[in-house]
Amino acid sequence: MTNKRIVLSSDHAAIGMRQTIADHIKAQGWEVVDIGPTTPESTPYPQHGEAAARRVASSDCALGIILCGTGQGIMMAANKVKGVRCGVCSDAFSARMIRQHNDANLLSLGARVIGDALALDIVDAFLNADFEGGRHATRVDMITAIEER
């Protein structure tokens, strides 16, 4: 991937893991756009999922990583934004596959589900995989078509 600008966002449940991921991927040359939050007060995950998703949908960022307690709620919010394909992953194989087969542009992680070391493995798998196109493109186009109905 030539555009290495990536948005990071979370709710209060995942601030520490988000920072760990930011440090890890900055060291790999990614330009991190961390849109918070930075303070530990409880904050609703939908607004943070939507904000990150809009950065990707507008092409301001090539990819995004979002986090909440389970990764589920923030993923659901992000997927409401047109053009976004986001999956929750708790293993590296799935993270690679959502790039290669589903052309996912956001990855969601559950900070209360997995530990930091596994999260970094998952992030590496996601960021080092590319969409394979071909028959997978046809299927991704079918997902996009749902947005028009």
Q: Give the annotated binding-site residues for D-ribulose 5-phosphate.
A: 11-12, 69-73, 102, 112, 135, 139
Distance between CA atoms of residues 41 and 56, nearest Å: 26
113: left (phi over 0), alpha (psi -120 to 50) or beta: alpha
Q: Report the Cα–Cα distance between both ends of the chain, in Å, rounded.
A: 31
In terms of CB distance, is 62 or 118 closer to ligand RB5?
A: 118
Among 1, 22, 62, 69, binds ligand RB5 (CB under 6 A): 69
- By CB under 6 A, tell whether 73 contacts ligand RB5: yes
Options 47, 72, 90, 94; binder of ligand RB5; rule CB under 6 A: 72
Q: Do 93 and 121 meet the contact criterion of CB atoms below 8 Å apart?
A: no
Catalytic residue among 48, 86, 89, 101: 101
Report the residue from 11, 34, 50, 103 that binds ligand RB5 according to the rule CB under 6 A.
11
**Residue 114 in contact with ligand RB5, rule: CB under 6 A:** no
Nearer to ligand RB5, 65 or 129 (CB): 65
Catalytic site includes residue 136:
no
- Cβ 51 to ligand RB5, closest distance in Å? 15
The residue whose Cβ lies closest to ligand RB5 is: 73
Which residues, at least 6 apart from 68, have a Cβ–Cβ distance to it below 8 Å? 10, 11, 13, 14, 45, 48, 49, 74, 108, 110, 111
The contact pattern for ligand RB5, residues 49-68, with x = CB under 6 A and - = no contact, is -------------------x
Angle CA(137)–CA(107)–CA(50) in degrees, nearest 5?
Answer: 100
